[in-house]
Structure 1
Amino acid sequence: MTNYLGLAACLLAGTAAPAAAAAQPSTTPTVLSLRERATLEDRLLAGRLDTVVPALMREHKIDMWVLIAREYVEDPVVMTMLDAENMHARRRTILVFFDPGAGKPVERLTVSRYGLARLFQPAWNPEAEPDQWKALGKLVAARNPKRIAINSSALSQFADGLTLSQYEGLVAALPAPYRDRLVRTDELAVGWMETRTGQEMQVYPQLLQVTHAIIAEALSDKVITPGKTTANDVRWWMREKVSSLGMQVWFHPSLSIFRQGQAAALQEDEVIRKGDMLWTDFGITYLGLNSDVQQLGYVLKDGEREAPKGLRDGLAAANRVQDALTSSFRTGLTGNQILAAARAKAIAAGLTPSIYSHPIGFHGHGAGSSIGFWDNQNPDPRGERPLRPATAWSIELNAKVKVPEWNGQEINFRQEENAFFDGRTVHYLDGRQTRFHLIGTRQ
């Protein structure tokens, strides 16, 4: 049986304490310069290569892992292994990991014309051997691996990066005995993608602090003037804010207006009015990691000092669904099992839940087991992977609640916050929303 917690302890040495669930800052935290980010990103990558790859290869009894990518058609894993100054594969980039056993370090080699910031040792001299494929074949034969992992998967897009032409080139290059040693596996690619190290978890909360700060500013009097500002105005303000920080969003922000008497959410060029509830979905990329957050705001009517109780109860109901989900995380359970347990708890508590949570990290919708889908609350093949420690999650869900002040109108109170599972408990990276962002406090 896999020692999940032992593996997590090795990878999580030095993990920072989780941030408290407090009110969000009113100003955007300082972000690093591009040069500072590059230095930190390469340090994080070096730490991952030193720890995550050897642990996964030994756990799954893989002697060699071969990754092949061509410029602009990169294997998703290769893209996460390039240093900060190499933004794409060059011509054909081949990365090789080899575990010689006997407690020796895993070799990191690159059979390519260009080096990779000293993270991989060059293993091809084109002047001595012009044929890159032959050089790879000789390297494999010289090390005589018993099991050679390649990234080819019908289930996970993150483990399916080896294209047909490059697979054919690899097979042709291998001496005959080694062709039968190729192993198609999801485990290395998905394991690499989903695992978060202690070093990464020292900086991941900073990304959520920036994300929360931008949302807090967007859903405030600084950006929104009731009767004038549209939903699109807020969305594009968020885009411009991120750009001004030298950062990027990984999807266009969403902003919807929920209004008493309107059955469907209002969007686009609809003008925001007093008494509206606002919902945003927003995520940014920083230091190679991603955030994905949904929060709620309310536009005060004249004389109001807080959102109506029915809306506050709806947000509280969504918080209770969050609790039902995060309390159901157990190492070794599948995403489908966690979904079933969480839904059972929430329903027993009188809630009407919909849960559609996912891993997060190198990608906003990251590698690993899904926990439900917004359009499918039943078991799904994509939810069959067991939960592992040292993983980050987007706790995404909603609670459906009838709002008395809105004549019993039924509203989906949507929430999404990013969290970390250490193998025993789930911690939010920068707290979660428990109170509405209020617009119109200057009245």
Structure 2
Amino acid sequence: MNQGKLAFACVTLAALCAPPAMAGDTGLSAVAISDTELANPALPAILPLKERAEVVDRILAERLDTVIPAIMREQGVDMWLLMSREYFEEPVLATMLDAQSFHARRRTILIFFDPGDGQPIERLTVSRYGLADLFEPSWAPEEEPDQWKAVADIIAARDPQKIAINYSDATRFGDGMTLSQYRAMTEALPQQYENRIVSGEALSVRWLESRTQTELDLYPGIVRIAHALIAEAFSRKVITPGKTTTGEVRWWYREKLASLGIAPWFHPSVAVQREGTKGIIYDDTVIQPGDLLWTDFGLTYLRLNTDTQHLAYVLKPGETLAPEGLREGLRRTNRVGDILTASFRAGDSGNTILARAREAALSEGLDPSIYSHPIGFHGHGAGPAIGFWDNQSPDPRGSGAVNAGTTWSIEFTNYYEVPEWGGQRVDFRSEEDAWFDGETARYLDGRQTELTLIPSD
């Protein structure tokens, strides 16, 4: 193992073994990673905005102190430059702004430099307004009015061997350098340094996909918020069978999140499968007894995202359970989930994991479709995909390695012909967020194993 990989392994080990760091004052750290999901969980306390900002800034400081040295040494890069203009923040730099900096100011330039020999990573900001206390201000416009010349002087003074900037054909997360900024930078840069420019693609993905101990302490509680809101949405508090429409439930989610001061990262989905109707009814429709409801719901809290899909059955008058065929459909979906999480191997590509899981599921007579993705700072996060709903074959977007210390939306479905519905093929979708420690993929707040039941009378 080289020194870079060893350094990152130490970060991963800390995430697994260290005691809770800074999450104790948030109310979320009481929610531990669990394989069991509560049927009707209570909504965790939601922090006031000032306290949220304090947590975000502590997490950012921790990430800059631990993740940055690990990934730069892992990738053998001694300088990394990030540049963004106001209202046009690239994905990586946007996650490095403190909680009171909603946008880059004018042009914000961040520089990381590793002087070697185990010395601390320098964190510099070449921008007029600085950036909290997280980066050292390194430009005095009254002395050097040309911002790009200031950048060139910093580079020349440190003489880096590899200068990473964010350009990439493969991923949107590592392609933040615009043509105009690249031209301006290289025009000011001495010729010998242009030849040392490399892509920051790998650094970008590793920064975004890597989770720290504090984030892991908080994440189960953030997922618990999503689970609690789904449980409320799929209840008689929100749904009156025969009256409430799927569209009204979608907008209930939006209003509820707004009341909590939490943002969705996509507009919620609520749809119906119904006996005698082929496929899923996505259009706004009145929810009826006997319907199988599906929701896809995601929120952003403390800069981390959730992505969850659950199923509910609307009981017909006199029913106390869903038909056995619907329950069997969910059991089979959970079996696909078992196979998928057991197929994770650190270092394997997303394509390899997809093929391994599909082969095992098909050998058991299941009918799966797998389309899992990383999650974290972005709902569809940085890192390799494990399948797509419209492509179950190897895909260039699944060619990257699945790394330890990352979080995932375990997203998939299994189709099952429900006997009580005349053999109708029903889509039993599931999605839950999980943590992969390099050995085991574990759900952050459990997974749905029983259909939620909504009484009709």
Into which bin does the TM-score normalised by the smaller protein fall?
Answer: over 0.9
Q: 1:349 aligns with which of 328, 348, 364?
A: 364
Residues 230 and 268, structure 1, Cα contact 8 Å, conserved in 2: no
- Tell whether 2:9 aligns with 1:9: no
Cα distance in structure 1, aligned partners of 2:305 and 2:286: 30
Q: 1:207 aligns with which of 200, 222, 227?
A: 222
Cα distance in structure 2, aligned partners of 1:403 and 1:152: 49
Residues 251 and 283, structure 1, Cα contact 8 Å, conserved in 2: yes
1:366 aligned partner, one-letter code: G
Cα distance in structure 1, aligned partners of 2:287 and 2:424: 19
1:183 aligned partner, one-letter code: V
Aligned match of 1:48: 63
Cα distance in structure 1, aligned partners of 2:399 and 2:111: 29
Q: 2:149 aligns with which of 131, 134, 142?
A: 134
Identity %: 57
- Tell whether 2:122 aligns with 1:118: no
Q: 2:305 aligns with which of 290, 305, 323?
A: 290
Cα distance in structure 2, aligned partners of 1:355 and 1:5: 29
Q: How does 1:243-392 map to 2 (within 5 A)?
A: 243-392=258-407
Q: How does 1:61-80 map to 2 (within 5 A)?
A: 61-80=76-95
Deviation per residue, 1:383-430 (Å, 9 max, x gap) = 111111000000000001000000000011000000000111011010
Residues 336 and 372, structure 1, Cα contact 8 Å, conserved in 2: yes
Cα distance in structure 2, aligned partners of 1:44 and 1:185: 22
Q: CA deviation at 1:27?
A: 3.4
Cα distance in structure 2, aligned partners of 1:98 and 1:430: 38
Deviation per residue, 1:234-265 (Å, 9 max, x gap) = 10001111111000101000001110000032
The 1:105–1:426 alpha-carbon spacing in structure 2 relative to 1, beyond 3 Å, is: same
The 1:26–1:7 alpha-carbon spacing in structure 2 relative to 1, beyond 3 Å, is: closer
Cα distance in structure 2, aligned partners of 1:178 and 1:12: 40
Residues 333 and 413, structure 2, Cα contact 8 Å, conserved in 1: yes
1:96 aligned partner, one-letter code: I
Aligned match of 1:29: 44
- Stretches of structure 2 that go unaligned for 5 or more consecutive residues are 21-31
- Tell whether 2:428 aligns with 1:413: yes
Cα distance in structure 1, aligned partners of 2:53 and 2:108: 21
2:176 aligned partner, one-letter code: G
Q: How does 1:128-277 map to 2 (within 5 A)?
A: 128-277=143-292
2:166 aligned partner, one-letter code: N
Match of 1:255, SS?
strand
Cα distance in structure 2, aligned partners of 1:173 and 1:82: 26
Residues 150 and 184, structure 1, Cα contact 8 Å, conserved in 2: yes
Match of 2:312, SS?
strand
| Greater CA drift, 10-19 or 53-62 | 10-19
Q: CA deviation at 1:131?
A: 0.9
Aligned match of 2:115: 100
Q: How many residues align?
A: 442
Q: How does 1:76-91 map to 2 (within 5 A)?
A: 76-91=91-106
Deviation per residue, 1:305-344 (Å, 9 max, x gap) = 1111000011111100101100000111100000000001
Cα distance in structure 1, aligned partners of 2:171 and 2:80: 17
Deviation per residue, 1:263-319 (Å, 9 max, x gap) = 032233310000000000000000000000000000000111111100001111110
The normalised TM-score by structure 1 is 0.98
Cα distance in structure 2, aligned partners of 1:273 and 1:99: 62
Q: CA deviation at 1:6?
A: 4.3
Cα distance in structure 2, aligned partners of 1:62 and 1:222: 54
Match of 1:400, SS?
strand
Residues 11 and 67, structure 2, Cα contact 8 Å, conserved in 1: no
Q: CA deviation at 1:19?
A: 2.4
RMSD: 1.3
Deviation per residue, 1:77-128 (Å, 9 max, x gap) = 0000000000111110000000011111000000000121100110001111
